[in-house]
Amino acid sequence: MKNDRVEYRIRTLLRGIGESNDIPIPDLVQSRIDETLATLPASPPQTGESSYMPALPRRGTYRSSSASGRIMKQVSIAAIVAVLSASVWIAVKPESVQSVKPVLTSIFGKLGSNAVKNKVVNKKGELPVLAEVENDGYVLQIHEAMFDGLQVSFTYSFRLQNGEMAQAQSIVPNFQLAASAKLLLGPTYKFDNFISWDDYKIGIVKYYTQKKLPESFTLEVNVPSIGIQKKDSSLYDIKKGNWNFVIPVQGSDTTHTVKWDNPRLADHGGNRFEAVRLRTSETVSELHLKLQIPYSQMRSVWQNSQFIKYVAVDERGNRIDFTPSISSGHSTDRNDHLGQNPETKYVEDTWFYLEPLPKGTILTITPSILTLKEVKGEITEQLERFDGLAITVPVQD
């Protein structure tokens, strides 16, 4: 039970929610788990999971090579940290069932960021339906679509054709871009957040793209399966089917790439930190950061159940929330698995998505090492900042 309690508290700390309702883990995250486990003194997981929603680490999943409880806890926490730090899904605390069925005029207005909510604040009338697909008793409806040059997003609801949708269940459609959509959008980062609303699950799916898109197009999305998670379970049952749909999307490109007078980078003690690019639109800002540290140091981070965290404040000292994000890392020498060569570096690119940053804002960003520790059943965090690598990122023309 102890590892289960640690897992629950880590989720609560990092996601900021108090429910055990969780989300599926994509293949990218599973690979981060495997990489982390490979650096630890224990055998790899024996889950046998092969679906797109692999199981979360649970008590008894891993077999330790020794009887040491310390090592077992290290493996468990490190795997959970790998999951949470790499995850690109967002879980939102479910809302209570209301006695009167609520009327939504916009799911963007309910779940969207502040910038998105401002775009639909005056929207009136019934929630539209752009597409509706029923398969095996489950009904998927697509309601709204939005495009602003940086993100393509749509809202959806999911319900049972007959009967109530259990609030204890987490039901997640497996949205996949069709071949035509992949060709149209190019490389994308996907985020999906959802809540329970009366007898429905409602959510927003966002695709952040790097390509310039036309002002109107059709988006084809495949939904070959759904994941169903029951109460008090970390496992998702996979239900296959066909909830594919095509919707029209209209919008305008409002993106702007911030220009800097000088490169925004810092070099200190063989480490390097850089702001590569900052793009903004009317609904979101995208910040691309690159960190380079000795590979041996990154191995030490993995082995000690730690991970890299970026701390940002504005010119007034206000903390800036740097979530959601997605990261990609690699070694400069793939043959130096132990980091024995001091010249071998670990390079990590991270893309953060946050509310649009007003012109004139000056961010100070400091890479740090976050350590999670269990003290009397509570998970605490300790930050070790790389102050020599702090950089300033001005939001200017």
Provide mean pLDDT across the span 79-95. 38
Per-residue model confidence (pLDDT) at position 221: 97
Cis (ω within 30 of 0) for the bond into 358?
Answer: no
For residue 334, what is the domain's CATH number?
2.60.40
Model pLDDT for residues 11-30, shown as the tens digit of each residue: 333 333 322 233 333 344 44
DSSP-based three-state secondary structure for 362: strand
100 and 86 housed in the same domain: no
Q: Which residues pair with 157 in a beta bridge?
A: 141, 202
273 and 379 housed in the same domain: yes
Per-residue model confidence (pLDDT) at position 149: 92
Confidence category of residue 163, pLDDT binned at 50, 70, 90: low
Considering 90, 117, 136, which residue would you say is the last residue of a domain?
Answer: 90
End-to-end CA distance of the chain: 54
Cβ atoms within 10 A of the Cβ of 196, count? Answer: 22
175 and 78 housed in the same domain: no
CB 131 within 8 A of CB 141: yes
Task: Output the CA–CA distances (angstroms, integers) from residue 113 to 125, 151, 247, 285, 383, in the order listed.
Answer: 21, 13, 22, 12, 28
Per-residue model confidence (pLDDT) at position 199: 77
> Cα-flanking dihedrals φ and ψ of residue 290, to 5°?
-130, 125
Q: Which helix (H) or strand (E) holds 392?
A: strand 391-394
Per-residue model confidence (pLDDT) at position 36: 43
241 and 261 housed in the same domain: no
Considering 90, 121, 152, which residue would you say is the last residue of a domain?
Answer: 90
> 62 is in which domain, residue-wise?
2-90
Given a cut of 90, whether residue 271 has pLDDT beyond it is yes
107 and 181 housed in the same domain: yes
Confidence category of residue 148, pLDDT binned at 50, 70, 90: very high
The mean of the pLDDT values for the chain is 76
101 and 145 housed in the same domain: yes
101 and 216 housed in the same domain: yes
Provide mean pLDDT across the span 134-147. 93
Cβ atoms within 10 A of the Cβ of 98, count? Answer: 9
Per-residue model confidence (pLDDT) at position 284: 92
Confidence category of residue 144, pLDDT binned at 50, 70, 90: very high
